[in-house]
């Protein structure tokens, strides 16, 4: 009850409320901790728009309100077919941003915990890279890219049309070097998709921060799993800073090595080892299925290594002298960082600061540093490659499959699956959907049930009708899932 009451308190606009005498509230679309989004109708044009307003308990905060209006100004200057356009600001009875109304699920809802097939994956992700390339060209760093900030709409021809939205904490790059300034130590963004430099609270971030977040989104869209998910925020931050995550090709058997390589490169801890812009990211991913395509070079290490004179090896789990375990998230060195008390910072040259940080000695020509001992990877358990199905997204062929394990060229129609079960014995639609074992079981069961009708009479006929109907419904549901681009198991209902 308390949660519902709080939600009602934050919902400050009721259906029928007019704004600036030009828009009328139709309904509440969604509400978060900071803002609510409404469907509104233009009274003169009768056109449908979305309206974003701050929750009442935050609208009186000058800093939050200033960032909210800055979001509108930033998003209004970005004109791209895959960026939600802010068209106007209203002020009465509340301040709000009027923007394009996009009907469709978020990317997180579209995936539903299952990895997308290669064809659908590129159909969804490449336009997002195009949108962010345009934003970066205009000096805008999003800093909060995540699946929930990508809406999957459809164009006039029914083709998927991903739209990037919510530039609420975006920054415009200013000054020499084109870097977005933020107060050092401030962490802004959504933890699961933040870059290592955001975790460290670096005072300067650039477009490569968004590249890392895009890599985390691509990982989730391709595998259905979050790349950096842990039992606590501290463990999540540690995984991001160290670059430790389950390889995507181990999560999804048969994943194309170039796609997996693109994910690894985008998730490199060192920004210099990531794709340097979205155009390079797009080129590598778009050409993944072409003959002779090479996977991007694997990052040298999954984490940065600070080198000093005669560095003694140090185990990652050993805290510096005088520090109790678990007291400081930054008090552990990721690996082979000699006598340093903090993770290497992205906004400064690695130094020899001990814990606590001491004044570094005068620079001297460093000797040839010893090569750190590589940690031997654990051999992954063999993973059975699941067949990957295709889905009708558009009439044009987006990619060419180089092997059946990567992508099939068949298209699935729920209507065909139902017809096969209507005019054939039960199981025909299942075989059409790629569930061969289930289809064979249905055929055998149908023959058994039909023969039992002669001995059981009406009871056998009733049981046959139930069996017949169940397989028709199953064929339709599975074909619908495959048409949306979701992977379907051999026995999934």
- Give the alpha-carbon dihedral of 37, 43, 48, 54, to 10 degrees: -10
* Nearest partner of 146 among 189, 188, 102, judged by Cα: 189
Cα(357)–Cα(83) distance, integer angstroms: 44
Q: Check if 144 is active-site.
A: yes
Report residue 162: phi and psi, to 5°: -65, 140
Report residue 439: phi and psi, to 5°: -65, -45
Catalytic residue among 8, 9, 144, 166: 144
Residue 69 burial by CB count (10 A; 0-12/13-18/19+): exposed, middle or buried? middle
* Nearest partner of 211 among 158, 168, 263, judged by Cα: 263
- Give the alpha-carbon dihedral of 435, 436, 440, 445, to 10 degrees: -10
Asked if 296 contacts 262 with a C-beta cutoff of 8 angstroms, the reply is yes
- For the annotated catalytic residues, the residue numbers are 144
């Amino acid at each position: 009850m308390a949660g519902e009451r709080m939600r009602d308190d934050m919902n400050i606009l009721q259906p029928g409320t007019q704004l600036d005498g030009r828009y009328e509230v139709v309904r509440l679309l969604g509400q978060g901790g900071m803002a609510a989004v409404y469907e509104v109708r233009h009274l003169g044009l009768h056109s449908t728009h979305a309206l974003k307003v701050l929750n009442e308990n935050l609208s009186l905060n000058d800093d939050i309100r200033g960032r909210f209006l800055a979001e509108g100004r930033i998003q209004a200057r970005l004109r791209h077919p895959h960026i939600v356009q802010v068209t106007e600001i209203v002020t009465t009875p509340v301040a709000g941003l009027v923007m394009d109304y996009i009907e469709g699920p978020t990317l997180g809802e579209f995936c539903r915990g299952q990895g997308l097939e290669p064809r659908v994956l590129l159909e969804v992700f490449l336009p997002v890279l195009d949108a962010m390339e345009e934003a970066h060209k205009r000096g805008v760093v999003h800093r909060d890219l995540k699946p929930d900030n990508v809406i999957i709409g459809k164009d006039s021809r029914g083709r998927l049309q991903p739209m990037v939205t919510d530039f609420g904490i975006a920054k415009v790059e200013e000054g020499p070097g084109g870097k977005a300034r933020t107060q050092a130590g401030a962490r802004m963004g959504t933890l699961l998709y933040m870059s290592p430099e955001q975790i460290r609270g670096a005072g300067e971030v650039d477009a490569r921060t968004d590249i890392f977040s895009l890599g985390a989104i691509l990982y989730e869209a391709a595998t259905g799993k979050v790349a950096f998910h842990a039992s606590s925020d501290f463990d999540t931050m540690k995984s991001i800073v160290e670059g430790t995550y389950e390889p995507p090709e181990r999560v999804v058997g048969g994943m194309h090595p170039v796609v997996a390589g693109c994910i690894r490169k985008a998730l490199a801890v060192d920004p210099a080892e990531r794709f340097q812009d979205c155009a390079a990211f797009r080129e590598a991913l778009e050409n993944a299925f072409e003959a002779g395509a090479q996977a991007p070079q694997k990052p040298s290490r999954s984490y940065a290594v600070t080198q000093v004179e005669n560095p003694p090896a140090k185990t990652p789990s050993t805290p510096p002298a005088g520090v109790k375990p678990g007291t400081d998230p930054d008090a552990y060195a990721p690996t082979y960082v000699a006598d340093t008390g903090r993770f290497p910072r992205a906004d400064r040259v690695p130094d020899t600061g001990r814990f606590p940080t001491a004044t570094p000695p005068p620079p001297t020509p460093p000797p040839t540093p010893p090569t750190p001992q590589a940690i031997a990877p654990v051999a992954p358990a063999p993973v059975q490659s699941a067949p990957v199905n295709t889905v009708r997204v558009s009439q044009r062929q987006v990619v060419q499959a180089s092997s059946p394990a990567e992508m099939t060229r068949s298209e699935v129609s729920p209507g065909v699956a139902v017809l096969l079960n209507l005019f054939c014995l039960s199981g025909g639609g299942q075989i059409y959907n790629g569930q061969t074992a289930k289809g064979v079981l249905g055929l055998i069961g149908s023959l058994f049930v039909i023969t039992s009708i002669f001995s059981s009479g009406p009871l056998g006929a009733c049981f046959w009708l139930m069996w017949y109907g169940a397989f028709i419904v199953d064929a339709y549901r599975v074909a619908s899932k495959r048409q949306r681009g979701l992977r379907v198991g051999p026995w999934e209902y």
